[in-house]
Amino acid sequence: MTEEEISACIQRANGGAQDAHRELYQRFHASVRRVALGYSALGPAEVEDVVQETFVRAFRELARLEHPRAFGRWLVTIARHHSQALSRGARIRGRAAEDLALELETSMPAIPPALTLERRVVVVRELIEGLPEGPEKETVRLFYLEGELSAREIAERLGLGKSAVTMRLERFRARVKRELLARLLAAGVE
């Protein structure tokens, strides 16, 4: 789906078209689920709850989304808040998390051309390729490139503790953030 297609889809969804909601769900559910699956404290049912809650919130508040281009980032932001709250054992009730996510959206900065989703995907791919052969690379490859297993399942497969897998994933995610921040700052310098 191109950016234009996503924008058109969001517009139709705002008009109540259910097929547009379906297209958005099918396009984005995997990214949302990946966020939740990284939390080894969450069981399969809780992961699905995060996916559901994220889309329910997002679809109900869709009209408030200022920039259709921010939709994907908005979803993963909501998903991370839910996942964090759930993994801490604090079931989200009330509006706190929702407000937080919405606030983030409205302040969500525009992204420079160097950081389009396509470019970022290339950055991540290069970072994975650049990792030395070893446990971190294996974990990251299984989790992000194969895109089917949860952190829990990877722990079982590799014979590791659950938290060890989450730690490796968080470590790699920090590398990605470092690389993206460098590019974001460089774009500000130009």
Question: Under rule CB under 8 A, which residues in 42-101 are in contact with other proteins?
Answer: 48, 51-52, 55-56, 59-60, 72-74, 76-77, 79-80, 84
DSSP code per residue over 148-189: ---HHHHHHHHT--HHHHHHHHHHHHHHHHHHHHHHHHHHHH
Q: Which residue lies nearer to other proteins by CB, 108 or 158?
A: 108
Shortest reach from residue 53's CB to other proteins, in Å: 10
Question: Which parts of 145-184 interact with other proteins (CB under 8 A)?
Answer: 145-148, 170-171, 173-184
Residue closer to other proteins by CB (options 76, 160) is: 76
Closest C-alpha among 63, 62, 77 to residue 107: 77
Which CB sits closer to other proteins, 38 or 152? 38
Minimum distance of other proteins from residue 78's CB (angstroms): 10
Task: Please report how many Cα atoms fall inside a 13 Å half-sphere around the Cα of residue 32, on the Cβ side.
Answer: 27
- Contact pattern for other proteins over residues 11 through 40, marking x by CB under 8 A: xx-xxxxxxxxx--xxxxxxxxxxx-----
- Contacts to other proteins from residues 119-138, by CB under 8 A: 120-121, 123-125
Which residues, 6 or more positions from 71, have their beta carbon under 8 angstroms from its beta carbon? 6, 10, 24, 28, 58, 65
Which listed range, 90-98, 118-126, 156-164, lies at the site for other proteins (CB under 8 A)? 118-126
Binding residues for other proteins, how many (CB under 8 A)? 72
Long-range contacts of 154-163 (CB under 8 A, 24+ apart): 155/40, 162/40, 162/41, 163/40
2 near other proteins (CB under 8 A): no
CB 3 within 8 A of CB 67: no
Min CB(147)–other proteins separation in Å: 3
